[in-house]
């Protein structure tokens, strides 16, 4: 397959390249793509050096798949141009997620919605991906009425600028305002401010959890409220998720459903201090779930603690898994082989 990674020099783009290598995705031709100021830079992929190219050159090459992680504005502008030449775009930004004509996919949950006609496919938000991995089998069994979500999200989710801000602050240097990804320091701090505030006083990140969860699970009746917090953790998002089911549930059955879910690992042995943490999730593709317990304050209530590496399953790995699914189910074929 001829593969383009758009936004290749960014934080997620770098991890996408690593994941393509690790998962042995069949790449016959690799096209590293970035903005004009990065064109000509060299990156390494599978032991070889490649020069970064611009959008026009990448489109002219007609890749089979273009995996985007270059921001919403870039995706809105350029993804249709790739699609116009027959390239399947898998986009990691928020640009297409709530477009009713675009699929929003976590392969373990709803890959069956994909067809040969899907040329722009949306990769969900990192916090949504890890959460629906745990929610999907439970919703199918007991139907979720309401979710109350609190997130504890790594600063890496904001990108390279946030990483640099954290590193400077950790060294005791106060960054200049233009060097800061956040309005306040992130080192030794927690910021209840993920993305921009909207008119309803929620942040965009919080509303992504509302809308994307409903779309992926295919149920707009689920009540969802969220508080998203940025924390000084390098390498993983954590979520406290309170679930209210419509039906009574059996706790052991809940555990068995979570254990059986592909890509999910139950880490829940509090007697031996075993529970999910970013420390355990960093660099891994599995979503970890634990602290599984009844909410004794409401009928049919359940609490979960869900952790995943936001750059892996929360972004890069999920996008590549979508491409793998398309290939495995013959929903995409190499244009090179076709010719």
Residues 6+ apart with CB under 8 A from 331: 114, 115, 116, 118, 325
Active-site entry in 81, 139, 237, 253: 237
Nearest to 135 by CA among 215, 228, 233: 215
Q: Where exactly are the structural domains of the chain? A: 2-95+315-338, 127-308
Residue with the two structure tokens 């679930």: 243
Structure-token pair, residue 255 = 């555990």
Structure-token pair, residue 268 = 């829940």
The CA-based angle 7-190-309, given to 5 degrees, is 45
Active-site entry in 17, 126, 139, 194: 126
Q: Cα–Cα distances in Å, from 8 out to 76, 316, 339?
A: 17, 11, 28
Nearest to 303 by CA among 236, 271, 258, 263: 258
Domain 127-308 has CATH 3.30.360.10: yes
Across the chain, the runs of DSSP E, i.e. the strands, are 2-6, 29-33, 42-45, 48-51, 65-68, 88-91, 103-104, 120-122, 144-154, 223-231, 237-245, 264-266, 287-295, 301-308
**Known catalytic residue: 237?**
yes
Q: Which residues of the chain have pLDDT under 50?
A: 339
CATH superfamily, region 2-95+315-338: NAD(P)-binding Rossmann-like Domain (3.40.50.720)
**Known catalytic residue: 253?**
no
Give DSSP secondary structure letters for 186-222. Answer: -TT--BS--S-B-TTS-BHHHHHHHHHHHHHHT-TT-
Number of other residues whose CB lies within 10 A of the CB of residue 259: 13
Q: What is the pLDDT of residue 338?
A: 53
Residue with the two structure tokens 């109350």: 148
Residues 59 and 55: their CA atoms lie apart, in Å, by: 6
User: What does pTM read for this prediction?
Assistant: 0.95
Environment class of 10 (CB within 10 Å of its CB; exposed 0-12, middle 13-18, buried 19+): buried
């Amino acid at each position: 397959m001829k593969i383009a990674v758009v936004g290749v020099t960014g934080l997620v783009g770098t991890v996408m390249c690593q994941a393509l290598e690790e998962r042995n995705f069949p790449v016959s031709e690799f096209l590293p793509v970035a903005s004009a100021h990065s064109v000509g830079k060299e990156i390494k992929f599978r032991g070889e050096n490649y020069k970064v190219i611009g959008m026009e050159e990448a489109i002219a090459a007609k890749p089979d798949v273009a995996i985007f992680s270059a921001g919403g504005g870039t995706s809105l502008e350029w993804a249709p141009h790739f699609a116009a030449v027959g390239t399947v775009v898998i986009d990691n930004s928020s640009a297409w997620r709530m477009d009713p004509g675009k699929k929003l996919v976590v392969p373990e949950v709803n890959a069956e919605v994909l067809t040969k006609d899907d040329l722009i496919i949306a990769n969900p938000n990192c916090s949504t991906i890890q959460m629906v991995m745990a929610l999907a089998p439970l919703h199918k069994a007991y139907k979720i009425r309401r979710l109350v979500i609190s997130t504890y999200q790594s600063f890496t989710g904001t990108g390279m600028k946030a990483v640099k801000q954290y590193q400077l602050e950790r060294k005791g240097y106060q960054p200049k305002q233009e060097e800061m990804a956040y309005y306040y320091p992130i080192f030794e701090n927690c910021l209840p401010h993920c993305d921009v505030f909207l008119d309803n006083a929620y942040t965009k990140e919080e509303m992504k959890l509302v809308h994307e969860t409903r779309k992926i699970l295919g149920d707009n009746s689920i009540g969802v409220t969220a508080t998203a917090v940025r924390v000084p953790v390098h390498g993983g998002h954590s979520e406290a998720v309170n679930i209210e089911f419509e039906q009574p549930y059996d706790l052991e059955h809940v555990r068995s459903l979570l254990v059986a879910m592909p890509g999910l690992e139950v880490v829940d042995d509090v007697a031996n201090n075993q529970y999910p943490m970013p420390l355990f999730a960093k660099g891994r593709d599995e979503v970890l779930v634990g602290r599984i317990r009844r909410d004794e304050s409401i009928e049919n209530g359940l609490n979960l603690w869900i952790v995943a590496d936001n750059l892996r399953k929360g972004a890069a790995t999920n996008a590549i898994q979508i491409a793998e699914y398309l290939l495995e189910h013959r929903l995409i074929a190499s244009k090179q082989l076709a010719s």
